[in-house]
Amino acid sequence: MKVLFVASECMPFVKTGGLADVVGALPKRIRESGADVRVMLPLYSAIDTKWREKMEHVLFFYINLGWRRQYVGIEKLELDGVTFYFVDNEQYFGRNYIYGYGSEEGERFAFFCRAVLEALPHIDFMPDVLNCHDWQTGMIPVMLEIQYRHKEAYKNIRTVFTIHNLQYQGIFQIGEIEEMLSLGDLAYTSDALEFYGMCSFIKGGIVFSERVTTVSPTYAEEIQTAYYGERLDGLLRARADNLTGILNGIDTDEYNPQTDPMIYKNYSADTFADKRENKLALQREMGLLEDPDAPLIGMVGRLNGQKGLDLVERVLGEIMATGAQMVVLGMGDNKYVDLFNWAQWKYSGQLAACFQMNHQLSHRIYAGADMFLMPSMFEPCGLSQMISLRYGTLPITRETGGLRDTVLSYNEYTGDGNGFTFLNYNAHDMLHVIERAISIYREEKPVWEKLATRAMRGSYGWDESAKKYLALYEELVKSPRGNEEKPPRKEKARKSAKKAEEKTEEYRQPDHKALVKLLGKDVAKKWDAITQCVEKNYDCESAFAPGGKNGVHECKFKKGGRSLATLYAKEGEFCVQIALGKAEREKFEAAQADFSEKLRQTYENAPAHRDGKMLTLSGMDTQEGELLQILSLKRKPKKEKA
């Protein structure tokens, strides 16, 4: 069996979260069962030179992305028996960051999805199963069904879509995505890609894939409820028969206290007493009071609300009053960075924090702490609790998602358990469980050691997960394709997409004479004034494309892939669209008095998406001076540059 994983990140090449750990580890384990599993990723500039130097150039080709003709390079690297392919394009991936913001992300990953499908015949690897991961790959099943399935080379590919975190959905303007992918109007119905007036990549993956998986059994149940479903719970309930939760694992070779080179002293369940040396060394390194009897609580991960840090903030004083120590490692929201900065000053010698991604220090915290706090609001799977169990550091967790599937609360009557849990998302419920754990740690040492050594002997690797994924792939490949009438109905959708593609191919950029004919002399004069104003004040490129639903022509001003403003022309009129992100909204609202009443009203009535707003201004009513004021919120004009 041939399986291709497609994802936006993968260890050891590039990582921002648990997705990278899964895509880095799972293919190796499935391959050990005899399947030919390969992985395809973007070739980010952030990937270390040591990996780039080992890559082999396979080929290059060009693809159409709306009016754009884009280069696609394919690089290859063999590692631990797995073949990794990298999609190269400097415009989209040659940057100093992995993920950005706004509509640009839609273009980057629309390109990636198209490039993956177009690359398959070129790399001589046509998979039996395409396993796409998270929203960045959600358009692959969509395009496969609408634009590629009828082609001989693609007709037998089966699709699996894996949700790692439903909160991240990839939501963009329908017009922008259609202009790039030419899927046709039938793709943007409520039973397909349309999501509250926008286009949702993750919804596309859920609707158009034959099977949907997520990263723990409990999370698969939770996302079918309104509380956890992120407004997709109805769709997920409708797909419940094809939705499977498979628990992630951890790399038990890397996270092995018996051989880990990053910790102070190696130990095992049989030499558990040596864990004490790791605790004392961690206390010294972090500037805590060296006290082997003080309960030491560790926290490693992103510092944001999802991780339950508002609960910690609420009762931090009470936690410190128990005499426990705390070590925090992570990066994230300024609110929580400020909290722990203040706390390590307030509780000097008792609490220490490090605000960076420090892989070695994370290993030392897992080995040196007595307890690991993870009070997440939601947690699709979670890896940290399994790592802490592997190191005999008992987790204190909320019963949600993968935490519920991996941590069993200690039962003092039966002796069962490997940690401590609470159910309600409540600070004092969490505090009660922390106090219970501290009490057992101090007063019942034999019980604590029994729980810790039991935790260390647990099974947290990928073997069981790999078996379940392989079984799912085998069942899918053997089953008849049952989604022939999946909405939108394929034949109609293909015809609609074909029509859209032909429209894009036939498109001709208008000359000035054609614009005057379309707009009329007076309106064209205003169009010229607006475009000249932008070109005079900004170093940017402009490009025409079909206007889609917004007009006959689109003229987009952008630099480095980032949109500044877009003009849409249709008969007798035109409009100007400007996307304002969160930071730009804050600037606008702080300076509202500087703008006209009409513009303020337009801003108030503009549709909001997440933290941003899309301003649509009548071209004839747009004043050049006010336009520059708005654009300066996004980027400084040339004259303001040093």
> Which among 6, 81, 72, 82 is positioned nearest to 40, based on CA atoms?
6
- For strands 612-618 and 573-580, give the pairing: antiparallel
**β-strand partners of 390:** none
C-beta of residue 434 within 8 angstroms of C-beta of residue 322: yes
Q: Which residues contact 36 (CB under 8 A, 6 or more apart)?
A: 1, 2, 3
496: tokens are: 């609609």
**β-strand partners of 553:** 546, 569
Burial class of residue 437 in the structure, from the number of CB atoms within 10 Å of its CB (0-12 exposed, 13-18 middle, 19+ buried): buried
Q: How many residues does the chain have?
A: 642
What's the distance, CA 298 to chain centroid?
25
Strand order in the sheet with 171-172: 171-172, 198-200, 194-195
Give, in order, the Cα–Cα distances in Å from 357 to each of 30, 299, 330.
29, 13, 6
C-beta of residue 448 within 8 angstroms of C-beta of residue 454: no
3 state DSSP class of 204: helix
C-beta of residue 1 within 8 angstroms of C-beta of residue 36: yes
Angle, helix 521-537 to helix 512-519, in steps of 10 degrees: 130
Q: Which residues contact 486 (CB under 8 A, 6 or more apart)?
A: 145, 207, 208
Spatial separation of the C-alpha atoms in residues 339 and 98, rounded to whole Å: 27
Spatial separation of the C-alpha atoms in residues 56 and 77, rounded to whole Å: 6
> Which among 102, 95, 107, 170 is positioned nearest to 133, based on CA atoms?
170
Q: Which residues contact 338 (CB under 8 A, 6 or more apart)?
A: none
Give, in order, the Cα–Cα distances in Å from 321 to each of 308, 324, 432, 570.
20, 8, 13, 68
In this structure, how many other beta carbons lie within 10 angstroms of the beta carbon of residue 40?
27
Beta-sheet strands, E only, within 43-119? 56-65, 68-79, 82-88
C-beta of residue 229 within 8 angstroms of C-beta of residue 166: yes
In this structure, how many other beta carbons lie within 10 angstroms of the beta carbon of residue 636?
13
Is 15 annotated for ligand binding?
Answer: yes
Binding-site entries for ADP-alpha-D-glucose: 15
Binding-site entries: 15
